Structure 1
Amino acid sequence: MSNNESFINEVTEEVRRDQLFMYLRRYGWIAVASVLILVGGAAYNEYRKASEEATAQALGDAVFAALDNDDAQARVAALAEIDVTGPAGAVAALLEAAALQETGDLEGAAARLDTIATDPEVAPIYRDLASLKSLMLQADTMEPDARRAALEALAVPGAPFRLLAMEQIAFTHVAAGDNAAAIETLRAVLEDAEVTRGLRDRAQSLIVALGGNLDGSADPGQ
């Protein structure tokens, strides 16, 4: 290799190094920032996870402490002090309503359940459960027709508590003196593939108590 070629190669390498350093000075911050973002994001995720776990632990401790009270009124007061939203808030409110029911305050329990049932921020399954429990508590104070209309909204296909709502609809027919309609509703419950053993037993017992036949034959008096 001649001296000229060697000189040219050295100059070329020097130019390449200068260009590399220039690129690093100009764009190197992007790589550094990317690393910092990745590291910072991972750290934030860990912090958020730890914070959520701590919040859940504190909520669980508060709920268990409230339920540990032997006095129902004390449980009501303790549960009412739990300030939380979302699914956990709905569960705490349901427990508070149950404690109110235990104290004998059925009106207060139903009112607490109604606040859950009408809250658009609460998941539908909790709203439906609260609505069903509220309607059950009002069995003796609400007109059968009005209660049946509200229950029918919970008995539509696909509703999570459809069969339980149908059972309650049967009770509204009994309250209205229409045993035949009650038996028909209970038979529809028995024919459903999703009926549980406990609900099946209750439906069969009520059909017999109302004078119906479990084999589907014509009932006495029809």
Structure 2
Amino acid sequence: MALAPGETSDTFIREVDENLRRDQAEAVFKRYGSWIIAAAVLLLVAVGGLLFWRSQQAQQAAANSEQFSSILTEVGEGKTSDDIARKLDVLAADSNGSMSGAARLTRAALALQKSDRATAITQYRTLMDDGDVPQTVRDTASIRLTQLEFDSLQPQQVIDRLAPLAVKDSAWYGSAGELTALAMIKANRRREAASLLTGIAADKNVPPSLRARAEQLAAGLSIPAAPAAAR
């Protein structure tokens, strides 16, 4: 094929290549065009659905937060009626994650105020084993449940349950450590209990009241802890 005046071989090859690519693209579109369009529509629908779902979730979370705040206000005013308990149950069912956990922890606390230990224990036990709530909520439930069940549990059951929390890098070191030490005392493992209590008394991250109590308990075992006041 002769070249047009002023046309180089490179220009000619590029034009041929572009025409070939265009012809191939048209052939592909003719063959798969409907599938390409359908895939694009599905992608748009999926993205739109995701954005809508996130918007709905945000609105629901805001509504749940307002409802929980309102319930806490009622509790602060001394209202501990069955109506509040029902509201908390509904909120726990309609929400998830930390909000559901907070509602259920509050429900358990209200049950204890009414001396309803059975309901509180049920709430704490189900929370402790619920993988859908944050670990902090599960840990809180574990501590509260152990406090309620302490007298009915074998010492080793307490020690095993609280083992992940009765360590220095845990936010629950003071509370879990104290319960663990008391279980060790019941099991006649006094030296281990004293060592744990001494560690609690010396840890500045533990609340002062817990540190002082740990010091007193260790002193009662005739194995002195470092004075909390000196720290």
* 2: CA distance, partners of 1:193 / 1:110: 31
Contact 2:197 2:225 survives alignment (8 Å):
no
Contact 1:73 1:103 survives alignment (8 Å):
no
Shift of the alpha carbon at 1:172? Answer: 0.4
Aligned residue type for 1:152: A
Whether 1:177 and 2:188 are equivalent positions in the alignment is: yes
* 1: CA distance, partners of 2:226 / 2:136: 34
* 1: CA distance, partners of 2:71 / 2:195: 46
* 1: CA distance, partners of 2:76 / 2:87: 8
C-alpha distance 75-175 of structure 1, shift in aligned 2 (>3 A): farther
Contact 1:87 1:122 survives alignment (8 Å):
yes
Shift of the alpha carbon at 1:66? Answer: 5.3
Identity %: 22
Of the three residues 74, 82, 95, the one matched with 1:65 is: 74
Partner of 2:198: 187
* 1: CA distance, partners of 2:79 / 2:144: 23
Partner of 2:225: 214
Shift of the alpha carbon at 1:99? Answer: 1.4
Normalising to structure 2: TM-score of the pair? 0.64
What RMSD over aligned residues (CA atoms) do the two structures have, in Å? 3.0
Partner of 2:179: 168
Q: In the TM superposition, what are the counterparts of 1:106-117 in structure 2 within 5 Å?
A: 106-117=117-128
Contact 1:100 1:106 survives alignment (8 Å):
yes
Of the three residues 80, 91, 111, the one matched with 2:89 is: 80
* 1: CA distance, partners of 2:131 / 2:83: 29
Contact 2:201 2:225 survives alignment (8 Å):
no
Partner of 1:102: 113
Whether 1:200 and 2:205 are equivalent positions in the alignment is: no
C-alpha distance 206-53 of structure 1, shift in aligned 2 (>3 A): same
Normalising to structure 1: TM-score of the pair? 0.66
C-alpha distance 127-190 of structure 1, shift in aligned 2 (>3 A): same
Contact 2:105 2:141 survives alignment (8 Å):
yes
Contact 1:69 1:75 survives alignment (8 Å):
no
Q: After superposing the two structures, state which structure 1 stretch, 159-168 or 109-118, moved more.
A: 159-168
* 1: CA distance, partners of 2:79 / 2:62: 28
* 2: CA distance, partners of 1:156 / 1:142: 21
User: For each residue in 1:53-84, what CA deviation from the matched residue of structure 2 results, as whole angstroms up to 9, or x when unmatched?
Assistant: 34422332244335645446554344223332
How many correspondences in the alignment? 175
Shift of the alpha carbon at 1:120? Answer: 1.0
Aligned residue type for 1:60: S
* 2: CA distance, partners of 1:98 / 1:77: 14
C-alpha distance 72-200 of structure 1, shift in aligned 2 (>3 A): farther
Partner of 1:148: 159
